[in-house]
Amino acid sequence: MSYVAIKGGGRAIAAAAAAAEYLRTAEGLLNTVAEPLAIDAILHQLRHLVDRVIAEGGVYHPQFAALAIKQSLGDTLEAAFVLRAWRSTRPRLAATPALDSSRMRLIRRISSAFKEIPGGQMLGPTPDYALRLLRLELMDESPEAFRAIARNWLQNYPEAQLPDTFPKVLDALRRESLLPPISPPHGATPFDITREPLVFPVPRSAVLATLARAETGSLLAIAYSNMRGYGDVHPTVAELRVGYLPVLLPHPVTGELTEVGEALITECEVVAMYEADNTSDKPTFTVGYGACFGHNEVKAISMAILDRALRKGMQNGPSNPSEDPEFVLLHVDGVDSMGFAAHYKMPHYVTFQSDMDRLRATQRKSEEPV
């Protein structure tokens, strides 16, 4: 029979949790018809929040991401953290082969390198050219009007005859030998950052996996330092695509690759200027690659720039923080960095006592006559 040691600290923690729960539900005091936030409403109406959390959480589980957002009151760091902690309890059961992103069911694809691209530019849902004016009419939106908008939109845009695949812009550049050919994989399985520790130097697959679930703001800040001048990638977005990628797994009986579902992802390929010290016969452009779960364009672009910057750093030695694999990869994880920042709130009585002992001893010495 087990027994349990409980004292005052436990009551304090329970009371703190109750106070937080009060804040989550306090709307009910003001509004007699207040409703709890529905998971579906978060999934659909706060979709970029969900996208961010599934990417940073590293789990494609939009429902649980929405739940995590709900219980953490919309704090993205906390929500991604909840999802990650849940992931720790799940074994890895299977791995997909490399998936072909030309097979994505696209909702958006653009290239800033060419005016026309095979398959065409497709702006899709983007706020890029929206005027950032407050839409005051949404302050008190009528549910009926809200429900009618999507229905009307679909009626005005009958199902188009969209092709199943769109060619990749990079393939065209490769055919013209402006890019190096794809080097065949060395037979090694991709590095799984959830099952192996990063011991430097790390393979590119470890770099990409770490960037893919990095905290968006951290990734952007380091990539931005490179864009501004602490680095020189000078990228051109060859292609940015957002859509649903078919996920294939070997069939448990036949072993044949079978589609088990699809995942919304964002993929970005940037082309950067050629390097003087290229080891190949003739100079070519270089490529940076970014991809992550969900619709997160700024993250995918930042990742592509950092991929390019880090490969330069690994080849020639880093000349900027954004080119240093240790600096970038060990500082972009949101769960790690937010946890450590938060831990400073915990008691440090013992270490501080020890600090005071040293300072007092040093002060005494400095007061002693020489």
Partner 1 sequence: MNVTAHTTAGNAYTFGFLDEYAKKEVRRAVLKAIAIPGYQVPYASREMPMGRGFGTGGLQLTLSLIGPDEVIKVIDQGSDDSVNAVNLRQFIEMMCPGVSTTTKTAECTLIQSRHRIPERPLTAAQIIVLQVPYPDPLVVVEPSEDKRKTMHGEADYSRLLVKLYEDLVTFDEITLSHRYPTRINGHYIIDPSPIPRWDVPKLNDSAALILLGAGREKKIYAVPPHTQATPLAFNDVPFRVEDFRDAAGRRRACARCGCMNSFLDEFVSDSGDKTYQCSDSDWCDEQLLQIERLRRKSA
Does 152 bind partner 1 (CB under 8 A)? Our answer is no
- Measure the CA–CA gap between 307 and 322, rounded to whole angstroms: 9
Minimum CB–partner distance for residue 198 and partner 1 (Å): 7
Does 59 bind partner 1 (CB under 8 A)? Our answer is no
- What does the H/E/C string look like for the chain? CCCCCCCHHHHHHHHHHHHHHHHHHCHHHHCCCCCCCCHHHHHHHCHHHHHHHHHHHCCCCHHHHHHHHHHCCCCHHHHHHHHHHHHCCCCCCCCCCCCCHHHCEEEEEECCCCCCCCCCCECCCCCCCCCCCCCHHHHHCCHHHHHHHHHHHHHHCCCCCCCCCCCCHHHHHHHCCCCCCCCCCCCCCCCCCCCCCCCCCCCHHHHHHHHHCCCHHHHHHHHHHHHHCCCCCCCEEEEEEEEEEEEEEECCCCCCEEEEEEEEEEEEEEEECCCCCCCCCCCCCEEEEEEEECCCHHHHHHHHHHHHHHHHHHHHCCCCHHHCHHHHHCCCCHHHHHHHHHHCCCCCHHHHHHHHHHHHHHHHHHHCCC
Minimum CB–partner distance for residue 59 and partner 1 (Å): 11
In the set 93, 136, 138, 160, which binds partner 1 (CB under 8 A)?
Answer: 93
Does 339 bind partner 1 (CB under 8 A)? Our answer is yes
Minimum CB–partner distance for residue 78 and partner 1 (Å): 10
Residue nearer to partner 1 on the CB measure, 157 or 340: 340
In the set 9, 125, 158, 317, which binds partner 1 (CB under 8 A)?
Answer: 9
- Measure the CA–CA gap between 71 and 69, rounded to whole angstroms: 6
- Measure the CA–CA gap between 167 and 121, rounded to whole angstroms: 12
Minimum CB–partner distance for residue 249 and partner 1 (Å): 13
**348, 254 in Cβ contact below 8 A?**
no
Does 255 bind partner 1 (CB under 8 A)? Our answer is no
Residue nearer to partner 1 on the CB measure, 139 or 199: 199
Does 96 bind partner 1 (CB under 8 A)? Our answer is no
Does 86 bind partner 1 (CB under 8 A)? Our answer is yes
Residue nearer to partner 1 on the CB measure, 142 or 254: 254
Does 8 bind partner 1 (CB under 8 A)? Our answer is yes
Minimum CB–partner distance for residue 326 and partner 1 (Å): 6
| Sites for partner 1 among residues 308-337 (CB under 8 A) | 326, 330, 335-337
In the set 175, 228, 282, 343, which binds partner 1 (CB under 8 A)?
Answer: 343
| Sites for partner 1 among residues 196-225 (CB under 8 A) | 196-201
Peptide bond connecting 201 to the previous residue in cis, omega within 30 degrees of 0: yes
Does 13 bind partner 1 (CB under 8 A)? Our answer is yes
Residue nearer to partner 1 on the CB measure, 157 or 349: 349
Minimum CB–partner distance for residue 67 and partner 1 (Å): 11
Q: How many residues form the binding site for partner 1 (CB under 8 A)?
A: 60
- Measure the CA–CA gap between 142 and 37, rounded to whole angstroms: 17
Residue nearer to partner 1 on the CB measure, 60 or 244: 60
Question: x/- string (CB under 8 A) for partner 1, residues 156-195?
Answer: -------------------------------------xxx
Does 348 bind partner 1 (CB under 8 A)? Our answer is yes
Give the binding site for partner 1 (CB under 8 A): 2-10, 12-13, 81-82, 84-93, 193-201, 326, 330, 335-344, 346-351, 353-358, 361-362, 365-366
